[in-house]
Amino acid sequence: MEGQSTYDLLRGKAMTMLKEIDALDREVRVEASILTPEEAIGRPGRFDFPLLKGKERLVQANFLGAVGQAYTDSPSNYLGPAQEVLQSGLQDNYERAIFIATLNAIARCCGLVSNTVHCKDSGPADCAERVVEFIRAEYGSRPKLAIVGFQPALVEKCVSAFPTRVLDLDKDNVFRMKFGVLIEDGRKSAGVVADWCDVALVTGTVIVNGTAGPWLDLDKPVVFYGTTISGAAALMGLKRFCPCST
């Protein structure tokens, strides 16, 4: 798990945003609910996404009409004051998912970020096409690419375009071949893959599951993708590519 300083930084910035809109000392309620797979991703035309396999869920927070989301393997519902969420201990994936979803909703409410809602239907496939174009435009025709987090549409497109290594935490994926590439252990092999790559494309879910540290500190180009890290990316100045979210 990355140092608590990352979460302390985000907590402090979120509290500042609440003060700026005079929402810290009055009763502001955050409703976090678990989206069904169809609510979260629609019908993308394939069934190997973690959401559709029941491996993860999207938690959605609503703050003054603004929506924020976070992927997690420990979903639960929550209803309570925003300040209470920001002051939670963040000891597990459940607390961190509620915190990050709420952070994203607050950041959207304050106009810091606009695309905090997961793409649906053809969105994941469209995103994968655009990621390949983006990487080529930014980093050349054949950079060595590390993908952190197994997103099937994205991996399928990238392995055909770049030398690619893929990290994941799901034991049903690790050490299996997917689209011609071996899925490596996201905890044990992170350092080796980070040393090998020219560019890292990292799922924003790392900010919830506590594995963001190596990628926040990497002295190479790192691009985060997905809605989970939308608020944190804006607040911390991280590069994020999530073209099909809304």
Angle in degrees, 0-180, between the axes of helices 93-109 and 4-20, rounded to the nearest 10: 30
Looking at residue 13, what is its pLDDT? 94
Pairing of strands 222-225, 199-203: parallel
Q: Measured between alpha carbons, how far is 171 from 163 in angstroms, rounded to an integer?
A: 23
Domain shared by 104 and 27, yes or no: yes
Contact 68, 191 (CB under 8 A): no
Is residue 114, in this structure, part of any structural domain at all?
no
Q: Report which of 199, 227, 226, 229 is spatially closest to residue 212, judged by C-alpha positions.
A: 229
Looking at residue 181, what is its pLDDT? 96
Higher pLDDT, 38 or 25: 25
pLDDT of 134-188, one tens digit each?
A: 999 999 999 999 999 999 889 999 999 999 999 999 888 999 999 999 999 999 9
pLDDT band at 47 (very low <50, low <70, confident <90, very high): very low
Least confident of 6-15, 33-42, 230-239: 33-42
pLDDT band at 36 (very low <50, low <70, confident <90, very high): low
Looking at residue 52, what is its pLDDT? 37
pLDDT band at 240 (very low <50, low <70, confident <90, very high): very high
How much is the average pLDDT of 210-226? 95
Least confident of 35-39, 65-69, 189-193: 35-39
Q: Which residue has the tokens 């390949």?
A: 132
Looking at residue 43, what is its pLDDT? 53
Q: Measured between alpha carbons, how far is 196 from 221 in angstroms, rounded to an integer?
A: 13
The CATH number that applies at residue 222 is 3.40.50.11590
- Of 76, 109, 142, which residue constitutes the final position of a domain? 109
pLDDT of 71-123, one tens digit each?
A: 888 777 888 888 889 998 898 888 999 999 999 999 999 999 989 988 877 77
Looking at residue 1, what is its pLDDT? 40
Q: How far is CA 48 from CA 51, 127, 151, 153, in A?
A: 8, 16, 9, 9
Higher pLDDT, 181 or 45: 181
Cα atoms found within 13 Å of the Cα of residue 88, Cβ hemisphere only: 20
Domain shared by 103 and 138, yes or no: no
Is residue 231, in this structure, part of any structural domain at all?
yes
Domain shared by 24 and 65, yes or no: yes
Counting the structural domains of the chain, the total is 2
Looking at residue 16, what is its pLDDT? 94
pLDDT of 200-215, one tens digit each?
A: 999 999 999 989 999 9
Global pTM value: 0.87
Q: Measured between alpha carbons, how far is 48 from 28 in angstroms, rounded to an integer?
A: 38
Q: Is the pLDDT of residue 15 over 90?
A: yes
Q: Measured between alpha carbons, how far is 167 from 201 in angstroms, rounded to an integer?
A: 10
DSSP state of 76: -
* Partners of residue 165 on adjacent β-strands: 146
Is residue 25, in this structure, part of any structural domain at all?
yes
Domain that includes residue 156, residue range: 123-236
Q: Report which of 129, 164, 161, 132 is spatially closest to residue 149, judged by C-alpha positions.
A: 164
How much is the average pLDDT of 22-51? 58
Domain shared by 93 and 179, yes or no: no
Q: Where are the alpha helices (DSSP H) in the chain?
A: 4-20, 37-41, 50-53, 82-86, 93-109, 123-139, 152-159, 190-196, 206-209, 213-216, 230-236
Domain shared by 101 and 194, yes or no: no
Looking at residue 51, what is its pLDDT? 39
Which are the contacts of 25, defined by CB distance < 8 A and separation ≥ 6?
A: none
Q: Which residue has the tokens 């590069």?
A: 239
Other Cβ atoms closer than 10 A to 64: 15
Counting DSSP H helices and E strands in the chain, the numbers are 11, 10
Is residue 157, in this structure, part of any structural domain at all?
yes
Q: Is the pLDDT of residue 3 over 60?
A: no
